[in-house]
Amino acid sequence: MASKEIILKQLQSTSNEIALKFDKNYSGDLDVIVEELAVSYNILIEIIYKDRKCVPDNDFQSALLYWTALNSILASLELLRRGYTKEPQMIMRNVIETSAVAYNFHTDPDLYGKFISNLDKKFDSTKSVTKAKKVHDIIGQQYGMLSKFFTHVGPLHVLPHKVTNGLCIGGMFDFDNRAIMNINLMAITGTLDILNSLLELTFIQHITNCRFWKRIGNTAEYTPNTERMKQVMESMKQPVDSLNKERNTERSKRSKSGDLN
């Protein structure tokens, strides 16, 4: 039976214990992600504070949007550390959308002007994802996958955390379920790569050492880490069939026992 006390304990105590277990087992993965975050935060600090007078309003707002997206990645890491394995990827979809709008404001100052002068009107940010896909094909693939498997209700949503005496309230840390944690970490890493590459292209004139782009005259050529992105996509695709099989097996058992018509 669920009670107020059980839920409060999850929020105030158990979640902290789960986070400590996660940190102990995945410190190396966290180090990689936070190092990537630090690079982009530092680029934005330079632009927002030091170079503020050198950038137009649309680029300044782009920088603020990228900052919001980086904070959202931190939020997803916090959820993952506390044992929530579905929710971080919903945030990742929003990160891609926010990053796409940030890039779109840079490339289309008129779009930014229409947005800022009509804040009370609905802004269709998904159109920016369509435009950002022209920069990287992987953006559309990642955005679509996050939508299909995490944001829109699917097999992942009908399989809550299971424990021996029922269903788990809140998040949990299951060391034997490393695959799910790895999927989340890889998806966050892949989304952060997308954010960082768009951010770098947006502010390439302000960056001395580019990591995702190579300057060629007045243009730039993308130099992706294709191996890492391929690994990210595969890590997210593989468990879906497994989850579908698990769901169908559970459904078959319930049907045979008369619990499901």
- The 3-state secondary structure of the chain reads CCCHHHHHHHHHHHHHHHHHHHHHHHHHHHHHHHHHHHHHHHHHHHHHHHCHHHCCHHHHHHHHHHHHHHHHHHHHHHHHHCCCCCHHHHHHHHHHHHHHHHHHHHHCHHHHHHHHHCCCCCCCCHHHHHHHCCCCHHHHHHHHHHHHHHHCCCHHHHCCCEECCEECCCCCCCCCCHHHHHHHHHHHHHHHHHHHHHHHHHCHHHCCCCCCEEEECCEEEECCCHHHHHHHHHHHHHHHHHHHHHHHHHHHHHHHHCCCC
Task: Give me the number of domains the chain comprises.
Answer: 1
Is 1 contained in some domain? no
Is 60 contained in some domain? yes
Is 4 contained in some domain? no
Q: Which of the residue ranges 29-33, 74-78, 128-132, 172-176 has the most confident prediction, judged by mean pLDDT?
A: 74-78
Residue with the bigger pLDDT between 36 and 239: it is: 36
131-171, pLDDT tens digit by residue?
898 888 788 888 888 887 777 776 666 666 666 666 778 88
Asked whether residue 127 carries a pLDDT value surpassing 60, the answer given is yes
Is 210 contained in some domain? yes
Is 2 contained in some domain? no
Asked whether residue 94 carries a pLDDT value surpassing 60, the answer given is yes
Is 92 contained in some domain? yes
Q: Give the residue numbers spanning the domain of 182.
A: 9-257
Is 102 contained in some domain? yes
Which pLDDT value is given to residue 119?
Answer: 78
Which pLDDT value is given to residue 171?
Answer: 86
Is 105 contained in some domain? yes
Residue with the bigger pLDDT between 38 and 213: it is: 38
User: Mean pLDDT over all residues of the chain?
Assistant: 82
